[in-house]
Structure 1
Amino acid sequence: MQLSRIIMDTPHDCESVEEIKEALQNNNPALAIAKIQEYLDRQKNTALNIAITGESGSGKSAFVNVFRGIKNGDAGAAPTGCVETTSEPTPYPHPNYPNVTLWDLPGVGTTKFPADQYLKLVGFEKFDFFIIISDTRFRENDVKLAREIQEMKKKFYFVRSKIDDVLRAEKQSQREFNETETKERIRDNCIQGLQEQGIQSPQVFLVSSFELHLHDFSLLTETLERELPEHKRNVLLFAMPNISQEIINKKKKAFQANIKYVASLSAAAAAVPVPGLSIAVDAALLIRVVKEYAVGFGLDIPSLENLAINTGVLFTDLMAVITSPLATIEITVERIFKVFSHCASSAALMAAEEGARFIPLIGIPAAMGLSFTTTYRMLNFILDKLADDAQKVFKKALNTTE
């Protein structure tokens, strides 16, 4: 079994992957496996700190909550209100990805946090980027903060919040209402106002915390993902709510890119001539990875319950479109092997692996190859099913059809 061929066939400029390739080229499979495990763990543990700031009452806390898939008022939610509810920088870890933290920062320009000292007082160094939120035109304090952030060589983005309220009011007051033109006018107005105050090429996004799938939230997430360092892009991607088919497809592609590394760990276990060990390792790997898939696609019970409440679609109706036996339930060894039994080729490969391991000379390499192939096929099979279910749930939540 040539692990080097498997890893090296896929070009990648990640430093960790280059270390894996080097270990394999030097005929050091033990080091390669250690590096693979380190690579997979690093992806899960990479910290991403997002600062959410703006003046009081601008909708910061509501944005923090909806990004994390938590309803206002839930346990662990950022408190919302029409007055300033945040007196100190407050961290809100993502419930499914605790390495991703949204920080609800105090309003800019308060007595305790004056604009000219704001970044120092909130500890700007730890934040990867800033989102500056306003529910009206961006004010002087917002601009001062943007300038300070720019001087510190950090990224910042302007979010015009509560756009649903504005559009509703505009629709009621205008005889001939055009939503697209109205949003363009609001966006242009914000950009012009920021440019007049010295902000060059400001990026402004119109967002409703109650209608994430509408307006500019998808564009915002695409921009954040594009402008983040490469090693943090997937960290952000997996924490994003599934508010578009494109995000679901991107998550699937990111999950798929790691399958060869997980399968390589399976192949390493197959090199040990202990009956049943490879199967046990494969089951443990699959359970861990499939759980990540289900949570990432929002197919766990808490995510589906929140989606039902946020969209008004019955929870039972969302459940009804799910076909994978590994969604919405506890992932166990028994359920994993039940899926194995429905995939005849994988079941046959697994049986062949156990027998091949004890063939003199060629047995271990053959068992490693069979183990890799089995795990690789199974994970792709499961990923396809769960991604399809995620798309069906998304369409059902929006009451759309094919």
Structure 2
Amino acid sequence: MKMDSSFDIITDEELEEVKSALEDGDLCKATERLNQSLKERENAPLNIAITGESGTGKSTFVNAIRSMDDDEKGSATTGVVETTMEPTPYTHPQYPNVTVWDLPGTGTPHFAATDYLQSVEFSRYDFFIIMSSQRFKLNDIVLAKEIQAMDKKFYFVRSKIDSDLHASQVRRKKTYNEENVLKEIRDDCIKNLREGGINEPKVFLLSLLDLDKYDFHGMQSTLEEELPEHKRHIFLISIPNISLPILEKKREALRKDIWKWSSLSCAVATVPIPGLSVACDVGILIKAMKSYRSAFGLDDQSLEKLANKFGKDVSELRSVIKSPLVLQEINKELVIKLISKGAGGALMAIEYAASNIPVLGSMAAGGISFGTTQWMLCGFLKEIAEDAVRVLKKALETPV
């Protein structure tokens, strides 16, 4: 793996702090900074606000973006009338630091657009998604201007696109063209918002019943680009595994993280305490491998949900998983067994011995530990990412 391609996972400031600590011989400080950086990325809070007029599908979107069905325990309450009377937080089932807020509809007697943001405590949200199931109205435009004035990001989502396309297909049996209809809807939304005073509005057309269609990937890419670095990672990892491009993006994001995990392992290995580095490497590998399985939706709960969504038996999905590690319990015993085999075991044995040799021995142990952790994580990430692709393809497979 090329080192320079992985440095975008650590900020220039962090890198300078680690370099400075190592140059000063302060290994403890370097280790602490790397560990802190990993924790900051993993635990970065992300608060997403879903708003708009009542009846636009806000609650359904809150559930969909968290990979949940409307009738699932912990899901947002949905209905044909306004069901949200106050800002309601819904945490992600796998990533508790990600919270999607179902906000009351604008323009209702309870929440006028002019004082809406103060009522819902706008400062706690990282960005707003303003939803409409028809044309965006005055309340949506007023709200967007207020958000803009407060220097927050906002995006427009035109929901229920599948219903519009179906209606158009019924009315235009001979001339129906999906691409043209989508362009008409998008252009009309943009024109309406520009006339209302919104410059360069970002509008995304979505089907809440099937997020993979239409503009979801465009919205995901836009958010990924515009979120701060420490928020971007957790957003990408937490979004539903609904397509092959998303799986590939997750694989790339996690691949970049390997540099930090390996560097942390390396830094700990330079501390001349027998057994400390081995224990640290085992802990790092367990944590990282579990996080990979969760991110790709290959844990038992996620597989069950995926099977139910596509009307499959979960055994069908498990049947295409090739890596024996994915379906096993990832624990200390398993990881020690893995790194004790072949080259990995030899490296660990050398590392343990080298950690007792002052200065040069510690430096050698650091390099060995870096290489071992990197080798293990790269191999597991490759296997689990390929399994995730096979599972999704199996789920999408149409019975003959």
Normalising by structure 2, we get a TM-score of 0.92
Q: Partner residue of 1:230?
A: 229
The whole-number CA distance in structure 2 between the counterparts of 1:200 and 1:280 is: 55
Q: Does 1:156 align with 2:186?
A: no
The whole-number CA distance in structure 2 between the counterparts of 1:361 and 1:157 is: 54
Q: Partner residue of 1:61?
A: 59
In 2 relative to 1, CA 241–14 (structure 1 residues): closer, same or farther, beyond 3 Å? farther
Q: Partner residue of 1:36?
A: 34
The whole-number CA distance in structure 2 between the counterparts of 1:264 and 1:125 is: 36
Q: How many Å apart are 1:372 and its aligned residue?
A: 1.8
Q: Structure 1 counterpart of 2:233, which letter?
A: N
Match runs of 1:69-80 below 5 Å: 69-80=67-78
Match runs of 1:1-400 below 5 Å: 10=7, 13-176=11-174, 177-340=176-339, 344-359=342-357, 362-399=360-397
Normalising by structure 1, we get a TM-score of 0.92
* Alignment RMSD: 2.2
Q: Partner residue of 1:3?
A: none
Please give the secondary structure, in 2, of the residue aligned with 1:61: helix
The whole-number CA distance in structure 2 between the counterparts of 1:205 and 1:273 is: 55
Q: Structure 2 counterpart of 1:153, which letter?
A: D
CA contact (8 A) 2:14 2:33 kept: yes
Q: Structure 1 counterpart of 2:243, which letter?
A: S
Q: Structure 2 counterpart of 1:35, which letter?
A: R
Deviations 1:114-161 (A, max 9, x none): 111001110111111110111111122111111111111111111111
The whole-number CA distance in structure 1 between the counterparts of 2:142 and 2:334 is: 56
Instruction: Select between 77-86 and 205-214 the one with higher mean Cα deviation.
Output: 205-214
In 2 relative to 1, CA 8–214 (structure 1 residues): closer, same or farther, beyond 3 Å? closer
5+ residue gaps, structure 2, are none
5+ residue gaps, structure 1, are 1-5
Q: How many Å apart are 1:365 and its aligned residue?
A: 2.6
Instruction: Select between 211-220 and 365-374 the one with higher mean Cα deviation.
Output: 365-374
Please give the secondary structure, in 1, of the residue aligned with 2:263: helix
Q: How many Å apart are 1:200 and its aligned residue?
A: 1.8
Please give the secondary structure, in 2, of the residue aligned with 1:53: strand
Q: Structure 2 counterpart of 1:330, which letter?
A: E
The whole-number CA distance in structure 2 between the counterparts of 1:296 and 1:328 is: 15
Instruction: Select between 257-266 and 184-193 the one with higher mean Cα deviation.
Output: 257-266
Aligned residues: 394
Please give the secondary structure, in 2, of the residue aligned with 1:149: helix
Please give the secondary structure, in 2, of the residue aligned with 1:258: helix
Q: How many Å apart are 1:358 and its aligned residue?
A: 4.1
Q: How many Å apart are 1:68 and its aligned residue?
A: 0.7
Deviations 1:30-78 (A, max 9, x none): 1110100110011112111111001111100110101111111211110
The whole-number CA distance in structure 2 between the counterparts of 1:335 and 1:295 is: 18
The whole-number CA distance in structure 1 between the counterparts of 2:126 and 2:221 is: 16
Instruction: Select between 250-259 and 122-131 the one with higher mean Cα deviation.
Output: 250-259
Q: How many Å apart are 1:391 and its aligned residue?
A: 1.7
Q: Structure 2 counterpart of 1:282, which letter?
A: D
Q: Structure 2 counterpart of 1:145, which letter?
A: L
Instruction: Select between 127-136 and 362-371 the one with higher mean Cα deviation.
Output: 362-371
CA contact (8 A) 1:89 1:105 kept: yes
Please give the secondary structure, in 1, of the residue aligned with 2:389: helix
Instruction: Select between 208-217 and 273-282 the one with higher mean Cα deviation.
Output: 273-282
Please give the secondary structure, in 2, of the residue aligned with 1:52: strand
In 2 relative to 1, CA 281–316 (structure 1 residues): closer, same or farther, beyond 3 Å? same
Q: Percent identity?
A: 49
In 2 relative to 1, CA 10–193 (structure 1 residues): closer, same or farther, beyond 3 Å? closer
The whole-number CA distance in structure 1 between the counterparts of 2:16 and 2:272 is: 29
Deviations 1:317-370 (A, max 9, x none): 22111122232443112222343356x221221222233334576433322222
Please give the secondary structure, in 2, of the residue aligned with 1:92: strand
Q: How many Å apart are 1:79 and its aligned residue?
A: 0.4
The whole-number CA distance in structure 2 between the counterparts of 1:379 and 1:154 is: 37
The whole-number CA distance in structure 2 between the counterparts of 1:360 and 1:36 is: 23
CA contact (8 A) 1:90 1:105 kept: yes
Q: How many Å apart are 1:312 and its aligned residue?
A: 2.9
Q: Structure 1 counterpart of 2:308, which letter?
A: I
Instruction: Select between 324-333 and 207-216 the one with higher mean Cα deviation.
Output: 324-333
Q: Structure 1 counterpart of 2:383, which letter?
A: K
Q: Structure 2 counterpart of 1:396, which letter?
A: K
